[in-house]
A and B are shown apart, each in its own frame.
Chain A
Amino acid sequence: MEKLRHIEGSIVGMPVNDIDTDQIIPARFLKVTDKAGLGKAAFCDWRYLEDGETPNPDFILNQSAYAGASVLVAGNNFGCGSSREHAPWALLGAGFKAVISTDFADIFRNNALKNGLLPIVVDRDTQQQLFSLADEDPGTTVSVDVETQALTLPDGRRVNFPLDGFSKYCLLHGVDQLGYLLALEDDVQVYEASNPQRVTTTV
């Protein structure tokens, strides 16, 4: 995972509540065995017309004013549904570095943080302000500082967002969590020594 310290990027708004993982990436794109190339499948059923190839001109991500947007501002409860990590892989592949919403589904938030896609929780007023800014002034940029957990709006207002210390450390240093777990091997052995194996799959 690459280090993520600072994001400076233009916003695009999708003021739809409960955007589920089937919208972020439909299941038919999950027949892959790697992570690459999923960006073109992001929001596929909203992004393309019935033929699956022709861009839908009404869809916000297809409008040239929002080309290159890297911060997605979404409705409440973003990422509900399945556990597919293909959802953050697809968003990253489509150029996003952060998603802003009032709340995120648990599994999506976990998956996003493990891939350096920053889920930013803001209050509803901030969310609505960002929707308005994105709508009225395409190309509006925001800046995000991971260390101070601050989102800075174009008017200079700073909004702090929650981020657990462990995830922050991993983002700032570009390390994944597996190294931490691997280093606990002794603890795991102690646990196993005092807790009998509860089930065996190999017999």
Chain B
Amino acid sequence: MTNNGRPRTLFEKVWNAHTVREQSADAPAVLYIDLHLVHEVTSPQAFSMLRERGLMVRRPDQTIGTMDHSTPTTPRNELGIIPIADAMAALQLDTFSRNCSDFGIPMYALGDEHQGIVHVIGPEKGLTQPGMTIVCGDSHTSTHGAFGALAFGIGTSEVGHVLATQTLLQNKPRTMAINVEGQLGEGVTAKDIILAIIARIGIGGGTGLVFEYRGEAIRSLSMEGRMTVCNMSIEGGARAGMVAPDDTTFEYMYGRQHAPSGADWDAAIANWRTLPTDDGAVFDQEITLSADELIPMITYGTNPGMGMPITDAVPAPADEPDINKKTALDKALAYMDLSPGQQLLGKAIDVVFIGSCTNSRITDLRQAANFIAGRKVADSVRMMVVPGSQQVKKQAESEGLDEIFRAAGAEWREAGCSMCIAMNGDQLQPGQYAVSTSNRNFEGRQGKGGRTFLASPLTAAASAVSGVIADPRVMLAN
């Protein structure tokens, strides 16, 4: 599709189709929002604002709520209820229930069969669709870009704007094409692609940009893999990352609860096929990576840009010419208690966390379960497996994955954000080392004083059974 003959990017097509008012010298563009996802942590002050001003939620039928961040993931009690031990979390969850009920927003409460991490349930229910604008008070909203949607995180004030008006003021971002050519090798996954991208561009490299992930390796990924990649766009500084919709997208969506059906499905597909970036469209920036050269990645520092191939040694601050980067690396290595030149392979760990909006979907759990089947989690390691939603949990249990994890000595828990954000009781103790499939290794992110190595589910599983950081390719080869 062209606009007056000018080739356009996927991003431009979605942006243009949602512009209620064009950007001008005086004001940013006003964008229409198709789908607004809300959760308990970033919404209460927005609902309070609506009440103070006597406003309604303009489109509750384009809004959906779920509880995920502050919810415990501990097993259900004998009554089938997930107990909430934290009084503040309980109040926040109660407040959320009341807000959704008062304003007519459908919501999946803790324990509901459709409850789960907001970025897992949107796609799972067929709410996330190509060409849509999707926002949520959560920076990992970029996940939904895997479907060719323009999806980004917003603050609580903006949550209020969307609740009240279904629109947002936005300055138009610039674009970056990220081409991932070639094919991934055995034991290398979507998580390794995105960790390699962020290691290359740095955590601020995407500020002001929307990424479009392109190339053979991206096309070959499952939807879950594409979600993993798009999820961490924000860790490269970009608010949104997108993948053009294709047959993989449509096969994933077909038959899902909120996906179009019948004649509407055919019409939708015809429309979605016009979305991919036109030949000759120009991106503001472009980089290319070779998937063939990638190996499993792991982070060594305290932001997601401090990552490296798992067989590399921890870099030395002395080798860093930029004084700011040197200082940051010094600080990170002190926090992580690591030495320049140290190999991470063989480094003892305390916890393995498989979960989060990055890596808690069924394919992630299958990968980890297949790896761990017939093996045992090392005695020195606590391994937690936290499905991203109740539906993922149900699917995994129907396939017997829970039994594989339990038999290996791992914990199989209820759905939620869990140890990715450590505000729900699931957290590291000070000084502990974790290999985590989540998205952030910031100081204290997984618990005050906790130390995080970000990696793929395969690397996490290999490390869990080894008791030390391990390269999954070695065990896959045996």
Contacts and interface: CB of A to CB of B under 8 A. Distances in A.
Interface of A: 15-18, 20, 22-23, 26-28, 30-35, 45, 50, 52, 75-77, 80-85, 103-107, 110-111, 114-115, 164-166, 176-178, 180-182, 184-185, 187-188, 191-192, 195, 197-203
A185 B165 contact: yes
Interface of B: 17, 20-21, 25-28, 30, 32, 34-35, 41-42, 44-45, 48-49, 53, 55, 60-64, 69-70, 86, 88-89, 91-92, 95, 105-106, 127, 129, 131-132, 137-139, 141, 153-158, 160-161, 164-169, 171, 173, 203-204, 207-208, 234, 237, 239, 258, 303, 305, 324-325, 327-328, 331, 421-423, 430, 440, 442-445, 448-449
Contacts of A106: 173, 207-208, 237, 239
Give chain A's interface secondary structure class.
loop
A98 to B, nearest CB: 18
B207 A105 contact: yes
Given A45-B448, A188-B165, A22 B153 contact: no
B91 A33 contact: yes
Contacts of B137: 83, 85
A164 B60 contact: no
A166 B327 contact: no
B164 A198 contact: no
Contacts, number: 211
B42 A181 contact: no
Contacts of B442: 20, 22-23, 81
A35 to B, nearest CB: 6
A197 B260 CA distance: 12
Contact of A178 (B45, B88, B105, B160): B160
Contacts of B422: 27-28
A9 to B, nearest CB: 24
Given A105-B204, A111-B155, A165-B26, A17 B325 contact: yes
B69 A191 contact: no
Given A22-B443, A200-B61, A201-B62, A30 B30 contact: no
A164 B26 CA distance: 8
A188 B45 contact: no
A27 B438 CA distance: 15
B70 A31 contact: yes
A28 B160 CA distance: 23
Contact of B42 (A85, A103, A202): A85
24 contacts: A15-B324, A20-B440, A22-B442, A27-B421, A30-B42, A30-B423, A32-B44, A33-B44, A34-B45, A75-B328, A81-B139, A83-B42, A83-B153, A103-B204, A107-B139, A107-B155, A114-B155, A115-B157, A164-B171, A184-B165, A188-B32, A198-B131, A201-B60, A201-B106
A22 B441 CA distance: 10
Contacts of A164: 28, 171
B317 to A, nearest CB: 13
A200 B62 contact: yes
A181 to B, nearest CB: 4
Nearest to B90: A31
Contact of A34 (B21, B48, B155, B430): B48
Contacts of A166: 26-28, 169
Nearest to B442: A22
A188 B28 CA distance: 15
9 nearest A-B residue pairs (beta carbon):
A111-B155, A77-B204, A83-B153, A33-B44, A85-B155, A31-B88, A85-B156, A114-B157, A27-B423
B32 A195 contact: yes
B92 A15 contact: no
Contact of B258 (A15, A18, A200): A200
Contacts of B25: 165
Contacts of B305: 18
Contact of A81 (B26, B60, B160, B440): B440
Given A33-B92, A77-B203, A105-B237, A82 B139 contact: yes
A180 B169 contact: yes
Contacts of B139: 81-83, 107
B312 to A, nearest CB: 21
Given A33-B95, A85-B157, A105-B237, A17 B324 contact: yes
B324 A28 contact: no
A27 to B, nearest CB: 4
A18 B204 contact: yes
A16 B327 contact: yes
Contacts of B161: 177-178, 181
Contacts of A31: 41, 70, 86, 88-89, 91-92, 423
Of listed B26, B28, B34, residue having the most chain A CB within 10 A:
B28
Contacts of A26: 444, 448
A15 B328 CA distance: 10
B207 A177 contact: no
A203 B444 CA distance: 41
Given A31-B423, A110-B155, A181-B161, A199 B132 contact: yes
Contacts of A197: 34, 61-62
Contact of A201 (B35, B158, B169, B173): B35
B97 to A, nearest CB: 12
